[in-house]
């Protein structure tokens, strides 16, 4: 249920948030307050309280704008700076984050800024009023939005900072309990101080794996192997981008040395091609991959473990924007990110984006973009275009370009090879929600001629379940495209109608007249 | 490195008083601030749902509210995302079998 008095920090966050704007209305039948229908729109609604959203909110307040920051989570920080609830009494949260001091400084500035923090607000759609162009952000409130209590926030501009989620490429046994997302294991550790097992193999692709392996090991897990499908040699193909981002290299070196200290072997050009166990993980088979990510026959080696943390990079979370028709760009690792102009604005005027919504790139890039976007918003709303030509803005844009170039080089180095589908037998489930197998999808793509994820979905129900294709989308798109000229490159940006599942009752009232209490 | 190190040691955690919830009637100890999923992981429980067609066990997967694999029945209410719902003293968590009936639009 939405925060009860036994969780004072949540209630405090919410009410402090609403107070300065008198936008508070009590939930029906509870003491809680949410901003449901402010009579005056905010200047800026920021969606997502990670580094991008926080930096955006703080900067916008500094420039005199009124700001509401909405996030589904109870606390600010987003994915990277996810941290334990106060009840867990962590004296050294910095042990799980390299840059904790920078986060607490940002958080302090946010708290002092008097921006409204609307925690536990799950945004499901954003609409625009035709007459005056004001945006309305529609959310469901509560820890998991199950009660479906709606809230709406009006604003003159919107900054989308919803981050990313993990990309998954299925393999036999990936639905067994004990197989968890790599970022998911990290998130559960950072927020709840728990591990999925004692002997955890970390596998997939991308730099996040190293971070996850070092945290799990530092928290007491044995990590018998980190299994990376690419090599790191790919980085060397973009020496310029690498040379200009020393911080990244430093970070990689820190993770590398942490792994050495925990004696964790790193196997590159390899993948987990099978998980063993009946009701939970007992072991995995790791196979060598060729350059196209096809497993090399006869190279499988069994590693005993009780959990597997797996992920293949990140997918920008952009459905709120694509729902409004925002243009996207193809990223070097085969996902879709928002196409943004030099000042972080999407192709839909009045809607800005920052952080991973524009492509994976780490928290410093997210923070830089959030600040730049807020300057652009203030310049527009206050009619001060000179703000965007200020030294600060130019400096931010330069840093953004440098970090984006690095991120794109790294993404290219970890792009899934087209051969990965050959480790996927027909009886492996691809869609976890609807239990649709690879065979079912191949049949739809082959005999029935489906060429894209949407057609496969209509034919097989893959991607039609609760998660709306977030977990299977990349795989379904690859399988559907495997007979086409594009090979196994995911062909089109996902267009989910809603960013979070919404009770039918809420939909029935329509976004224009939410059934606010 | 120390073998028996725990996540709590790593961050120097000094949690508030632990409390009890139940999982399919068995007592499970939870710490204040933990989600239902974290409390269950803490007790070594990784599955608390069975799938609709195959009846296969599932638990938390994405850890961030995106995959809906962690759906549990909490105090009789099905389809709660255990990775997001905070554990509260006395909560009765039960294995969710197949469908809940929340009638959500996705
Ligand atoms: C599971 C996971 C774990 C990660 N762990 C690490 C790590 O250990 N180290 C590392 O360097 N990088 C990690 N990353 C990468 C990380 O995303 C970036 O480094 C950084 O946090 C990006 O900042 P951001 O502000 O763009 O987005 P995020 O930090 O992801 O913040 C986005 C915020 O938006 C909120 N949100 C999203 N959609 C909605 C919605 N519809 N309604 C309301 N709120 C919404 C989310 O709750 C979240 O708080 C991880 C990513 C993921 C997905
Ligand atoms: S673990 Fe994915 S939604 Fe809870």
Residues A100 and A172 in one domain: no
**Domains in chain A, number:** 3
Domain assignment present for A91:
yes
Confidence of residue A13 (pLDDT cuts 50, 70, 90): very low
Residues A308 and A319 in one domain: no
Pair A88, B13: CB distance under 8 Å: yes
Average pLDDT over residues B55-77: 96
| CA separation for the pair A188, B60 (Å, rounded) | 9
Q: Across the beta sheet with B26-30, what order do the strands follow? A: B26-30, B19-23, B92-94, B71-74, B77-81
Residues A205 and A296 in one domain: yes
Over chain A, what is the mean pLDDT? Answer: 85
Average pLDDT over residues A203-226: 93
User: Hunting for tokens 């990309």 — which residue is that?
Assistant: A167
| CA separation for the pair A208, A179 (Å, rounded) | 17
Concatenating the DSSP letter of every residue in A47-67 gives E--SHHHHHHHHHHHHTT--E
pLDDT at A21 over 50: no
Which run of H or E residues covers position A307? strand A307-312
Give A169-183 pLDDT, tens digit per residue.
999 999 999 999 999
Average pLDDT over residues A67-88: 96
Q: Is the ipTM of this complex over 0.85?
A: yes
| CA separation for the pair A48, A501 (Å, rounded) | 18
Average pLDDT over residues A491-495: 51
Pair A161, A354: CB distance under 8 Å: yes
**Angle at the Cα of A470 from the Cα atoms of A274 and A126, rounded to 5 degrees:** 170
Residue A210 CB partners (closer than 8 Å, separation 6+): A226, A252, A255, A256, A259, A266
Q: Which range (A185-199, A490-504, B79-93) has the least confidence? A: A490-504
Residues A66 and A178 in one domain: no
Of B40, B59, B60, B96, the one to substitute when testing ligand 2's pocket (max ligand atoms within 8 A of C-beta) is B60
Residues A161 and A14 in one domain: yes
Confidence of residue A510 (pLDDT cuts 50, 70, 90): low
Strands B92-94 and B19-23: parallel
Q: Which range (A238-252, A313-327, A443-457, B29-43) has the least confidence? A: A238-252
Residue A242: closest CA among A402, A29, A88 = A402
Confidence of residue A255 (pLDDT cuts 50, 70, 90): low
**Hey, are the CB atoms on B13 and A189 less than 8 Å from each other?**
no
Domain assignment present for A412:
no
Q: How far is CA B74 from CA A1, A385, B96, in A?
A: 10, 52, 9
| CA separation for the pair A325, A327 (Å, rounded) | 6
Tell me which chain A residues have a C-beta less than 8 angstroms from the C-beta of B56.
Answer: 175, 435
Q: Which residue lies with its CA nearest to atom 7 of ligand 1?
A: A80
The sign of the torsion formed by the CA atoms of A183, A167, A454, A447 equals: negative
Pair A160, A47: CB distance under 8 Å: yes
Give A459-485 pLDDT, tens digit per residue.
888 888 889 889 998 998 888 887 554
Pair A352, A373: CB distance under 8 Å: yes
Confidence of residue A58 (pLDDT cuts 50, 70, 90): very high
Give A351-407 pLDDT, tens digit per residue.
999 999 999 999 999 999 999 999 999 999 999 999 999 999 999 999 999 999 988
Pair B69, B58: CB distance under 8 Å: yes
Looking at residue B42, its pLDDT comes to 97
Terminal C-alpha separation, chain B: 47
Q: Which residue lies with its CA nearest to atom 44 of ligand 1?
A: A71
Concatenating the DSSP letter of every residue in B87-99 gives P-TT-EEEPEES-
Domain assignment present for A187:
yes
Kindly report the backbone phi and psi dihedral angles of residue A180, in degrees, each rounded to the nearest multiple of 5, phi listed first: -135, 160
| CA separation for the pair B46, B61 (Å, rounded) | 10
Residues A491 and A353 in one domain: no
CATH number of the domain to which A195 belongs: 3.50.50.60
CATH number of the domain to which A460 belongs: 1.10.10
Average pLDDT over residues A19-42: 42
Looking at residue A494, its pLDDT comes to 54
Residues A280 and A368 in one domain: no
pLDDT at A441 over 50: yes
| CA separation for the pair A368, A398 (Å, rounded) | 10
Tell me which chain A residues have a C-beta less than 8 angstroms from the C-beta of B80.
Answer: 144, 146
**Hey, are the CB atoms on A166 and B12 less than 8 Å from each other?**
no
| Domain of A55, in residue numbers | 9-165+315-389
Looking at residue A348, its pLDDT comes to 97
Percentage of chain B exceeding pLDDT 70: 89
| CA separation for the pair A110, A119 (Å, rounded) | 14
Domain assignment present for A148:
yes
Average pLDDT over residues A317-333: 95
> Would the CB of B83 count as within 6 Å of ligand 2?
yes
| Mutual angle of helices A51-62 and A363-381, in 10-degree steps | 30
Residues A16 and A92 in one domain: yes
Residues A143 and A22 in one domain: yes
Give A138-168 pLDDT, tens digit per residue.
999 999 998 778 999 999 999 999 999 999 9
| Ligand 1 mean position, distance from CA A69 (Å) | 15
**Hey, are the CB atoms on A466 and B1 less than 8 Å from each other?**
no
Residue A269 CB partners (closer than 8 Å, separation 6+): A228, A229, A230, A231, A288, A289, A290
Average pLDDT over residues A89-104: 92
When comparing pLDDT for A36 and A91, which is higher? A91
| Pick from A86, A196, A503: CB nearest B104 | A503
| CA separation for the pair A314, A299 (Å, rounded) | 28
Question: Would you say domain B16-98 falls under CATH 3.10.20.440?
Answer: yes
Residues A377 and A467 in one domain: no
Pair A22, A114: CB distance under 8 Å: no
Residue A146: closest CA among B80, B36, B12, B89 = B80
| CA separation for the pair A205, A228 (Å, rounded) | 5
Residues A299 and A325 in one domain: no
Which run of H or E residues covers position B37? helix B36-42
Average pLDDT over residues A44-59: 98
Looking at residue A30, its pLDDT comes to 30
Is A425 at the interface with chain B, CB within 8 A? no
Q: How far is CA B28 from CA A203, A217, B47, in A?
A: 30, 25, 14
Confidence of residue B106 (pLDDT cuts 50, 70, 90): very low
């Amino acid at each position: 249920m939405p925060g009860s008095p036994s969780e004072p920090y949540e209630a405090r966050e919410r009410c402090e948030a609403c107070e300065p704007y008198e936008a508070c209305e009590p939930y029906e039948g509870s003491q809680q307050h949410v901003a449901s229908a402010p009579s005056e729109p905010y200047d800026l609604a920021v969606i997502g309280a990670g580094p991008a959203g926080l930096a955006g909110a703080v900067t916008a307040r500094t420039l005199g704008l009124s700001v509401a920051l909405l996030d589904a989570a109870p606390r600010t920080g987003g994915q990277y700076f996810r941290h334990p609830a106060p009840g867990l009494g962590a004296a050294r949260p910095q042990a799980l984050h390299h840059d904790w001091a920078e986060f607490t400084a940002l958080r302090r500035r946010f708290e002092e800024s008097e921006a409204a923090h609307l925690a536990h607000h799950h945004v499901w759609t954003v609409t625009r009023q035709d007459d005056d162009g004001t945006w309305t952000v529609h959310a469901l409130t509560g820890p998991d939005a199950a009660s479906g209590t709606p809230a709406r926030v009006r604003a003159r501009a919107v900054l989308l900072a919803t981050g990313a989620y993990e990309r998954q490429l299925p393999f036999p046994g990936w639905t067994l309990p004990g197989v968890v997302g790599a970022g998911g294991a990290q998130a559960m550790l950072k927020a709840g101080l728990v591990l999925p097992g004692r002997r955890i193999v970390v596998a997939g692709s991308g730099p996040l794996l190293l971070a996850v392996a070092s945290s799990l090991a530092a928290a007491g897990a044995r990590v018998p192997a980190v299994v990376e499908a690419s090599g790191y040699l790919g980085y060397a193909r973009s020496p310029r981008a690498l040379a200009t981002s020393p911080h990244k290299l430093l970070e990689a070196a820190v993770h590398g040395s942490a792994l050495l200290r925990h004696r964790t072997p790193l196997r590159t050009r390899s993948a987990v091609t099978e998980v063993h166990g009946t009701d939970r993980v007992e072991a995995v088979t790791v196979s060598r991959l060729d350059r196209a990510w096809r497993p090399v026959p006869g190279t499988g080696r069994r590693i005993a473990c009780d959990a597997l943390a797996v992920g293949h990079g990140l997918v920008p979370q952009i459905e709120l924007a694509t729902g409004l028709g925002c243009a996207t760009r193809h990223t070097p690792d085969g996902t879709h990110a928002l196409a943004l102009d030099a000042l972080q604005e999407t192709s839909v005027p009045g809607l800005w984006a920052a952080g991973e919504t524009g492509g994976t790139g780490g928290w410093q890039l997210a923070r830089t973009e959030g600040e730049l976007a807020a300057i652009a918003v203030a310049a527009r709303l206050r009619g001060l275009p000179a703000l965007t030509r200020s030294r600060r803005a130019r400096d931010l844009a330069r840093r953004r370009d440098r970090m984006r170039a690095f991120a794109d080089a790294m993404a290219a180095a970890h792009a899934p090879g087209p051969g990965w589908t050959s480790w996927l037998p027909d009886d492996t489930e691809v869609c976890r929600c609807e239990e649709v197998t690879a065979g079912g999808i191949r049949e739809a793509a082959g005999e029935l001629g489906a060429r894209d994820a949407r057609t496969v979905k209509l034919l097989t129900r893959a991607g039609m379940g609760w998660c709306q294709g977030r977990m299977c989308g990349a795989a379904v798109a690859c399988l559907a495209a495997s007979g086409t000229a594009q090979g196994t490159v995911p062909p089109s940006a996902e267009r989910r109608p809603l960013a979070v599942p919404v009770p039918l009752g809420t939909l029935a009232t329509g976004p224009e007249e939410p059934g606010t209490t | 490195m120390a073998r028996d190190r725990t996540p709590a040691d790593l961050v120097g955690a000094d949690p508030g008083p632990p409390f009890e919830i139940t999982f399919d009637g068995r007592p499970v100890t939870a710490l204040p601030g933990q989600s239902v999923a974290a409390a269950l992981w803490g007790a070594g429980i990784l599955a608390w749902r069975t799938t609709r067609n195959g009846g296969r066990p599932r638990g938390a997967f994405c850890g961030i509210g995106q995959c809906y694999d962690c759906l549990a029945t909490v105090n009789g209410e099905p389809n709660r995302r255990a990775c997001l719902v905070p554990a509260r003293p006395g909560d009765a968590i039960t294995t969710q079998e197949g469908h809940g009936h929340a009638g959500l639009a996705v």
